[in-house]
Amino acid sequence: QVQLVESGGGSVQAGGSLRLSCVASRSIFDSYCVGWFRQAPGKEREGVADINTGGYTRYADFVQGRFTISRDKDKNVFYLQMDSLRPEDTGMYHCAAVSAGLCPLDDPTFGYWGQGTQVTVSS
């Protein structure tokens, strides 16, 4: 079992930055892919970024160049640095983990989810 707890959300103006954190209940660096997802009201959940056990990262086109996913092995924490935020980035952000070296393409494959942290970007 893995518990994930997100934090770092908040309200910012367009162009601002936030850093989200996802703390895992135990060390998962060597065996779990971790992803960040978001869901806006009335919209389907969408993948934002993920990082595999080798540190390889992927990003959705709509955040490419603005968001950065990273991890701190010593602290058991995964981060999502979000810069140049836009109103359309508003939503509930969740981190998720799956026991796999490579990150899957489908979010239902992620078996462990955090409760989420709200991000609101005003224009």
What is the tens place of the pLDDT at every residue in 17-33?
999 999 999 999 899 99
Predicted local confidence at residue 5, as pLDDT? 98
Predicted local confidence at residue 106, as pLDDT? 79
Predicted local confidence at residue 68, as pLDDT? 98
What is the tens place of the pLDDT at every residue in 45-95?
999 999 999 999 999 999 989 999 999 999 999 999 999 999 999 999 999
Confidence band of 101 (pLDDT split at 50, 70, 90)? confident
DSSP symbol at 101: S
Evaluated on CA atoms 69, 91, 13, 8, the torsion sign reads: negative
Neighbours of 76 (CB within 10 A): 15
Whole-number Cα distances in Å, 102 to 19, 52, 80: 24, 5, 19
